[in-house]
Structure 1
């Protein structure tokens, strides 16, 4: 079984569902995919990324095991996003549901060279280009408090296979200002 880590987010309603309700419903749907040992972080309010691009997000992280391959899991996550009204028109745009595959075990996919190229891509280029293949671990997870803070709740000791840092260590490298923007929600 593969050990998967995903980041969840939403900042637009999906039909009658609020972003929080959408995340809860998406987790229920994911549970019907044959995943086991599902652990979910608390939900957080986080500023829209990039700043000013829309309403604040509700974010969380989940960890689970599945017999699916990483590519098959990514396809399933995209199916769930579409089920909740996700449309992919603008990169980093507002969304009804975002399910990002952050990591699978300690895999580096498709290879270290491709991973490093996407990790080091200038931010201006990141906004206009998307990889045609799955890149794991997520190339910019180490820079994003909205990913790392929830992930720290469920896997503080997970070690990045390229950077050789734990989630907790990556969180500690973020600025206090970035960490202060991530506020736990009472559900």
Structure 2
């Protein structure tokens, strides 16, 4: 897909990853993720674009339910701390329980980047491992191949091509 965003807007875009391995109260994981996308604007996060859904095996236990993932580019005036709080509120509304790391879950929303901002405190941005994950960079490259990582400067397309985690990820 040709990049539909100009460089200046991409440099300000907030990147949100969406994922789930359980449908919860929804008829399917796709329906749950679609509903989560619709919930973002209620929290001040205007969705400008979103990828298709990508499937990948669960990690670290591939016997657990597979994941469905995607990425949204959003526009907001909220600072990173407030974006992260909004994402956590949405997760809670969708039944997310944080029992143990990497457990199957109904909804996982990650702040991948907040424009070109680099934060290393209460909120970390960009996400410290997203650039290694095909199930994040693949969907991002689908909608914004020219997006550049705020720290390493590499494009989403390049990061997707060299990802080392979740290499089985593919459009569902």
Same fold (TM over 0.5): yes
Aligned equivalents of 1:80, 1:71: Cα separation in 2: 15
**Residue pairs, 1:20-169, within 5 angstroms:** 20-52=30-62, 54-110=64-120, 133-169=122-158
Q: Judging changes above 3 Å, is the alpha-carbon distance between structure 1 residues 20 and 63 closer, same or farther for their aligned structure 2 residues?
A: same
Alpha carbons 2:18, 2:71 under 8 Å: kept: yes
Q: CA deviation at 1:162?
A: 1.5
Counterparts in 2 of 1:96 and 1:152: CA distance versus 1, 3 Å: same
Kept after mapping to 2: 8 A contact 1:4/1:65: yes
Q: Which runs of 5+ in 2 are unaligned?
A: 1-8
SS of 2:24 mapped into structure 1: coil
The alignment's C-alpha RMSD in Å is 2.0
Q: Deviations along 1:23-65, whole A, 9 cap, x unmatched?
A: 0001111122233352010111111122426110111000010
User: Are 1:170 and 2:159 matched, yes or no?
Assistant: yes
What is the count of residue pairs matched by the alignment?
Answer: 162
* Cα shift at 1:104: 0.8
Question: Cα gap change, 1:136/1:17 in structure 2, threshold over 3 Å: closer, same or farther?
Answer: same
CA distance in 2, matches of 1:67, 1:5: 14
Contact 1:53 1:93 in 2 (8 A): no
CA shift at 1:18, angstroms? 1.9
Rounded Cα–Cα distance in structure 2 between residues aligned with 1:100 and 1:19: 17
The answer (yes or no) to whether the contact 2:40–2:46 under 8 Å persists in 1 is no
Is there any run of 5+ residues in structure 1 with no aligned partner, and where? 115-132
What TM-score do you get using the length of structure 1 for normalisation? Answer: 0.80
Distance 1:71 1:151 in 2: 22
2: distance between equivalents of 1:178 and 1:146? Answer: 6
- 1:19 Cα deviation (Å)? 1.4
Residues 26 and 37 of structure 1: is their aligned pair in 2 closer, same or farther, counting only changes over 3 Å? closer
